Amino acid sequence: MSKFKESTLKTKLVTRVNRRIILAGVLKAGAVALLGWNIRKLQIEDSEDYKLLADANRVNLRLIPPSRGLIFDRFGAPIALNEQNYKVVFIREQAADPATVLKKLARIIDLEQKRQDKILRDMKKRSPFIPITVAENLTWNDFARISVNLPNLPGIIPEVGLTRHYKEFESYAHIVGYVGPISDKDLASEKPVDPVLQIPKFQIGKVGVEKKLEKSLRGTAGVSRVEVNATGRVMRELNRTQGKSGENIHLTLESNLQKFASERLKGMSASSVLIDIASGDILSLVSTPSYNPNNFVLGISQSNWNALLNDERKPLLNKATSGAYPPGSTFKMIVAAAALELGLIGLNDKVFCPGFYELGSRKFHCWLKGGHGKLTLQEAIQKSCDVYFYELARKVGIKKIGDMARILGLGQSYNLPLTGLSKGFVPTKKWKKERFGTSWLVGDTLNVGIGQGFSLATPLQLAVMTARLASGKNVTPNLIRSPNKDLEEPKDLSIRKSTLVSIRKGMFDVLNDKDGTAYKSRSTNKKFSIAGKTGTSQVRRITKEEREEGVIKNEDLPWKMRDHALFTCFAPYKNPKYALSVVVEHGGSGSKVAAPIARDIILFQLYGGIPPATAYPEKQQIEVGNKLSDIARKINLRTNVSSDI
């Protein structure tokens, strides 16, 4: 190869190598520049974003449970409160031997071995820095003893929180209800789910007002920002935002009246409802026997729960609003109103009662075996003649009877913040055909005409019925007091005044005429005269053979086979203010059992306290006076009320 060619080749090789070096240098410079740009972007432009991400790794948000709203009666007396809950928690990592610490704690407070074992098991399931609740609702003395002995109890931390407490638990249990730990079912029913419900051991309303007004009472949670380390242990609190307490609720009920009615019904399976006729406010709503809702707050024992469930008198049931009973003779006023409105009977028209009513080959019996003779409408109400109302019901027919029952408040549920409200039942021909596949019979109408058969009513509905008859207004019951809200005047019922006056007169005679079924339960204070209607509803069929041999007395029957005793009334007669119903399950006679109770309750309201003995017939004054004095002592009320009020 010539020297020229060799030189040219070397020049080309050098040029090619130089180009590669330059290209590599450019690529490296570009990479360095790109890396520098990204570093600049991370440190300057995106620094805030990454700072937030870093904060999210070290800062946790924790919810602070809100203070639950309180519940008061109409005068501001407390019913449901939040009380200090003295409790102790245990942090495992702070104790070398948790089992030994628990044994030492058991020498100070009652802490069974079974409970200690459960605490130790729970600790193993959680991180060592997570607190475990050891005991709650401690007395101040127990709490103080634990605090004094803390140096010997490593890991034990005393805390003070809030827990629900029901002050007047026995008389208000069925209305207010109770709170309890949230369940999976509760979470599933709430959409969207409130974050506060995720708080461990958070409690919500389970029944009654607590449940129906849960969202108002609950409030909104606060937020605490805490700094945590990589394992999640809290290092310090950065700041907190307080939540909003739940709304306070004022009920329309009067605590003294509520306690008196509860005590008057004590020992019975019974209920009573007293309504202010002008406003519709429910002043008293009682169901007995009752229970202690405080036992449910932290979890009721299985034995106590079984005892409540198996009690034949059903203490968990609110009989005043959920119990549906045959209304008995209290229903006769509905039949009378329907007949008068249709013009099917005049006030002076009489019906003869021989003691039974014949329909074909069947006899429908009157409660008075020998019969009442000839009666007008007012006399039939006064003496509660069954035969009179058999005849009236046959003339009116089931459709018109049902229409009047609904006008007077039966067969419907009211918008009250209570759980388990019953509509009762007003039967129809169509219902019987669909339910049993048989046609409606005239005999069915006759049974309904005296409040037996298929018809059912709650004590609340009977009180509403009485309030509407007494006022002629479409009275609607109310349980929540809103002082700043203007209440609308109830509309007039579509019933003539003359019809209402006639029925009221019959109800007046029930108590104030010597032949009235509740004459012994009258008030002797003319200013506070009571008008009412007795009712006795059968729960068993009386056979022909038993009637011939003599009907077995209620007191000789097993409790569950005895008749229900009912009474409904209003007072004062000339200026009606209050309407009341009383139902005593398997109590027997409405006139002997329910009427005296109702008189005591409504007189208590009229007098504004324990009524004086002079409000009662002279022969009853000593017995009644002793009974009322005993009740007054139990509920801490005075008895020296003037008879001139």
Q: What are phi and psi of 248, to 5 degrees?
A: -80, 140
CB 363, CB 356: distance < 8 Å: yes
SS3 74: coil
- Cα–Cα distance for residue pair 563/532, rounded to 1 Å: 19
CB 222, CB 66: distance < 8 Å: yes
- Cα–Cα distance for residue pair 82/98, rounded to 1 Å: 32
**The pair of three-digit structure tokens given for residue 60, joined into one six-digit string:** 């946790």
CB 543, CB 551: distance < 8 Å: no
**Cα 313 from chain centre:** 18
SS3 484: coil
**The pair of three-digit structure tokens given for residue 296, joined into one six-digit string:** 């449910």
**Cα 425 from chain centre:** 21
Q: Which position has the token pair 């209800």? A: 177
For residue 273, the cross-strand partners are: 285, 581
Instruction: Identify the active-site residue in 269, 272, 329, 581.
Output: 329
- What do you get for the CA distance between the two ends of the chain, in Å? 144
Is there a catalytic annotation at residue 329? yes
The DSSP-derived string for 608-642 is: TSSPPGGGS-GGGHHHHHHHHHHHHHHHT------
Q: What are phi and psi of 320, to 5 degrees?
A: -65, -30
Q: What are phi and psi of 51, to 5 degrees?
A: -65, -40
The pairing of strands 59-64 and 282-288 is: unpaired
**The pair of three-digit structure tokens given for residue 495, joined into one six-digit string:** 């019933």
**The pair of three-digit structure tokens given for residue 70, joined into one six-digit string:** 């309180």
The CA distances from residue 558 to 403, 484, 540, 586, 600, in Å, are 37, 52, 11, 9, 28
SS3 297: helix
Measured at the CA of 257, the angle between CA 253 and CA 261, to 5 degrees, comes to: 110
**The pair of three-digit structure tokens given for residue 286, joined into one six-digit string:** 């009682």
Residue 527, amino acid: K
DSSP symbol at 467: H
- Cα–Cα distance for residue pair 571/580, rounded to 1 Å: 9
- Cα–Cα distance for residue pair 178/625, rounded to 1 Å: 36
Of 475, 471, 469, 457, nearest in space to 412 by CA: 457
Q: What are phi and psi of 541, to 5 degrees?
A: -90, 130
Query: Annotated active-site positions, please?
Result: 329
